[in-house]
Structure 1
Amino acid sequence: MAAQEEWRKQGDDDLGGQQRYAQSGLVLAADESRGGGYVTRALDQVRKRCQNMTQDRDTSDNVRMFESKEALGEYLGTDHAGDWGYLNTGSGWADAGKAMSWLYERVKATHRVDFVDAKVKQLETRDDRVVGARLSDDKVLEAEVVLVAAGAWTGELIDLRGRVEATGQAIGFVELTEQEAAIMAEQPSVLNLSTGLFVIPPRGRVLKVARHGFGYLNPRIVNSALPATTTARMEPIMVSRPSTRRDVGNVNRLPAEADADLRRGLRDLTPIGGLETRPWKETRVCWYSDTKDGNWLIDWHPEWKGLFVATGDSGHGFKFLPLLGDKIVDVMLGRGGDLGRKWIWRDSGEDGEGREVDGKFRGLRTLDQSRAGVPGMVLEEELKKTEGMDEPPVERSSLACCRSSSL
């Protein structure tokens, strides 16, 4: 709630101003017919959340229940959005690209931060201390404290196997007519918990559809990740990390199953017929930094002195932009409280998740009750299944990858 209060401030000098935040409302839906443990827990979670919200006098007017498929469909103007759900009119979405550009300019204007545009090859150590970062040109940036907040790339710099893992999520954009854009601008964001599919109402004439699921793995050998302990040798390890052109060629291409699923989202979650047959304006694979429980990993490294790690967004990090930095500093200073205990360095476990076992990579599975789809899919393998098929038409553009986040 504290983060959302900041997003709602609409002054030009506020984070949420100049169309960086839109309070569109959010419909959270689910399919009763899918059954099973995962969906049942997800439905219970939604119901409990809704009950808690409706008992709060400040939010009761913001929540509207849809107890049936017909009621939900009538409100959204769709036939297949879900079997039931609820609308929270107090929710909205933030434009990540605009927000980060705004924040970058503000930080740069302080003249207290030097931005270095370079690739980090590895962390630099001296005895049991991390003392800096070695860049791809072998220049070393030294510091008393090294804070690594590299998102889905963190596992290439630090051995986090079994704790944090990169997973790829499918995203697509289609262009709308002016009339269609006007219709969608009046719609809330819609997320179906059972499928993970969601759409975010556009500003302008581009509509985003995406899938929040277990995601794709991209197992690769990395050679210079900082070992888990100070006594271990640096050696090649297999981790899932974001894909590159060297891995899969066109990094923006979607596997056939993701393409079909996103088109199903356009069909089921929007009131505009025929969007599912439209050429993509852009497709992307957006990379999460996942943990087992969906909580961040924000803590001092237990073995290496001088190293602080802030990662494990699990797909919901950006919406906390207004306050996450302050919380990270609190943890660094030893005053993280309950949140610090939740984000503490966790045991990697002995189940083999996040590691290569008998020649096969076993992905870490996030069990935060928000994920849908098939766990353990490998991006390269899914793309190979697509070879020989007619590639869906895509118009070339320069859209940012994860350009929005629901709140």
Structure 2
Amino acid sequence: MARGLGPSTTIPHIFHPKPVAPTTFTRHPFIMTHPSVLILGAGCFGLSTAYELLQRGYQNVTIIDRANELPAPDAASTDLNKIVRSAYRNGAYTRLAQESIRQWKTGDWDNAYHESGVLVCGGADGTAYSKAAHENDLAAGCRVELLPNVSDIKRCFPAEVALGEIADAKDESSGLARNWAYFNKDGGWVAATVGMKALLSRARTYEGRGLTILTGRRVTGLGLDQQGRAVGVKVTTNGNEEVLSADVVVLATGAWSSSLFPDEPFGLAKLMRATGHTSLTVQLTPEEYELYKNVPTLFDKETDLYTMPPTPSGLLKWGLHHKGAVSAHSVSTPRTGLSKDNTSPLDSTARIGVDGAGASCAVPKRMLKPMRDAMRKLYPDIADRDFASSRICWYADTIDEDWIIDYHPDHPRLLLATGGSGHGFKFLPVLGRVIADRLENKLDIESRELFSFTRARSGEHVERFGESFEIAEDELTSSVDLRAK
């Protein structure tokens, strides 16, 4: 669902469920072949689910979203680009990512996918991750090459590109003890907004013959039956409240999820929260674009830097794999746009520039220096210049970074499809299949356990560095802060 600075009031405590049972999967009670389905949120989880259900012959699918236009301009999935990698500790994600990559390569996505290859570097603290990811990529049949020496890493880049300290991160004599690096040809990046528009266009072909899309609707709570179980949702449109009901309600509200449903007995808010993650871009000249267009996508555990080749318009984007920021506001996903038309960078009407032409998003000032420093270690020639654009993407972070795709134990008609944790978009072509399989109780047991609402959870953001921090308006950047010093 689109993200924005919503009302300061919280949702009333309307839930009175029984305690969660941790050992059983919830099964949908309906026997009907194609139940009516109401999907909250038109981001990558919600839209992909709707399209998959329509492909399966469902005749009554409704999507609602708080945005007035789709794809929502401020959604995390409406972005310049996203990394497409299969480098995971958990082989289930690796296999699913490779399935998704095969779909990205088809003609259904308006050439959104770019196969630059992915360079995975493990640092002193990231070697275990890189080794496990390498083994899983090999097992999945990926085209991978181990890079035991600095000279091997350098070969992944055009010879004319000046590299910084990353090329010296490994001592030639220490072998793989400090840094395990490998290159996977089966991966790269995707133009995220292009991909979302392609999926939306295909979904809209079902409007009037199975699909209804309702925009500008703000969810205010669940519609409950006499037993206190969810049978629909309460929505407000232009100040008018109504209850929309369906046989199955799919909650795909992304980073809004924990603030929309904060009640402790409901159980979602203690499993996930919204965290904001900064990305920056620099504008390359046409000559620089020709120089950098063939660099690999990079995922570096030594610096926690991730970056991709420049877009055709010459924007080169990067970020840090950080635990993220949390909002000081009662609603956990503020829009943080910044433009001449916005008196406040936390104005709920702010628009976020994602293509370099619009307004930049106000980001935490504290992130600028570490992000410049990280880029300087990779591409020193372009690190110290004005930022062309900046953005916060709000993730729906679970405790263990695994998704939640499961029926709520106390609401058997409510399917949760959320908790993307910053790594869901690459799976856009196959997410709908996974969620629809769970809706129909067809999902394989490994995936059901991985995405279970009641699964045992251990660890917290083990693949990210740093500590979460709270941001407030006076700690956000202005346009002056984005200029090179």
TM-score (norm. length: structure 2): 0.64
Question: Aligned pair 1:120/2:229, yes or no?
Answer: no
User: 1:386 Cα shift?
Assistant: 6.1
Rate the CA distance shift 1:348–1:8 in 2: closer, same or farther, 3 A. closer
Gaps of 5+ in 2: 1-94, 171-178, 263-267, 338-343, 353-360
The C-alpha deviation readout for 1:274-332, integer Å capped at 9, x for no partner, is x2222122101101111111111111111224211111111111111121111112212
- Cross-structure match for 2:101: 7
> What aligned pairs does 1:1-400 form with structure 2 within 5 A after superposition?
1-8=95-102, 13-15=107-109, 18-32=110-124, 39=125, 42-51=126-135, 53=137, 58-59=141-142, 62-68=144-150, 71-73=152-154, 75-76=156-157, 77-81=162-166, 82-83=169-170, 84=179, 85-111=181-207, 112-118=210-216, 119-127=218-226, 128-137=228-237, 138-159=241-262, 160-204=268-312, 205-221=314-330, 240-243=332-335, 248=346, 252-270=361-379, 273=381, 275-336=382-443, 337-346=445-454, 367-372=460-465, 374-380=466-472, 384-385=474-475, 391-393=481-483
- Cross-structure match for 2:56: none
SS in 2 for 1:378: strand
Q: Which is further off, 290-299 or 74-83? A: 74-83
Identity, in percent, stands at 26
SS in 2 for 1:63: strand
- How many residues align? The count is 344
- Cross-structure match for 1:237: none
Native 8 Å contact 1:218 1:378 kept in 2: yes
User: 1:144 Cα shift?
Assistant: 2.4
Paired amino acid for 1:132: G
User: Partners in 1 of 2:399 and 2:407 — Cα distance?
Assistant: 19
User: Partners in 2 of 1:389 and 1:179 — Cα distance?
Assistant: 26
Gaps of 5+ in 1: 33-38, 223-239, 350-364, 395-407
User: 1:338 Cα shift?
Assistant: 1.4
User: 1:343 Cα shift?
Assistant: 0.9
Native 8 Å contact 1:28 1:86 kept in 2: yes
User: Partners in 2 of 1:388 and 1:130 — Cα distance?
Assistant: 43
Rate the CA distance shift 1:155–1:2 in 2: closer, same or farther, 3 A. closer
User: Partners in 2 of 1:254 and 1:366 — Cα distance?
Assistant: 28
User: 1:11 Cα shift?
Assistant: 7.2
User: Partners in 2 of 1:384 and 1:308 — Cα distance?
Assistant: 39
Rate the CA distance shift 1:12–1:43 in 2: closer, same or farther, 3 A. closer
Rate the CA distance shift 1:366–1:183 in 2: closer, same or farther, 3 A. farther
Paired amino acid for 1:377: F
User: 1:96 Cα shift?
Assistant: 1.4
SS in 2 for 1:136: strand
User: Partners in 1 of 2:103 and 2:438 — Cα distance?
Assistant: 27
User: Partners in 2 of 1:242 and 1:161 — Cα distance?
Assistant: 17
Native 8 Å contact 2:99 2:430 kept in 1: no
User: 1:266 Cα shift?
Assistant: 2.6
User: Partners in 1 of 2:250 and 2:397 — Cα distance?
Assistant: 19
User: 1:219 Cα shift?
Assistant: 4.3
Paired amino acid for 1:257: R
SS in 1 for 2:234: strand
The C-alpha deviation readout for 1:56-81, integer Å capped at 9, x for no partner, is 5944x53231444x653565441222
Paired amino acid for 1:264: D
User: Partners in 1 of 2:145 and 2:155 — Cα distance?
Assistant: 17
User: 1:218 Cα shift?
Assistant: 1.4
User: 1:28 Cα shift?
Assistant: 1.4
- Cross-structure match for 1:358: none
Paired amino acid for 1:154: S
Rate the CA distance shift 1:300–1:31 in 2: closer, same or farther, 3 A. same
Q: Which is further off, 123-132 or 277-286? A: 123-132
User: Partners in 1 of 2:471 and 2:258 — Cα distance?
Assistant: 17
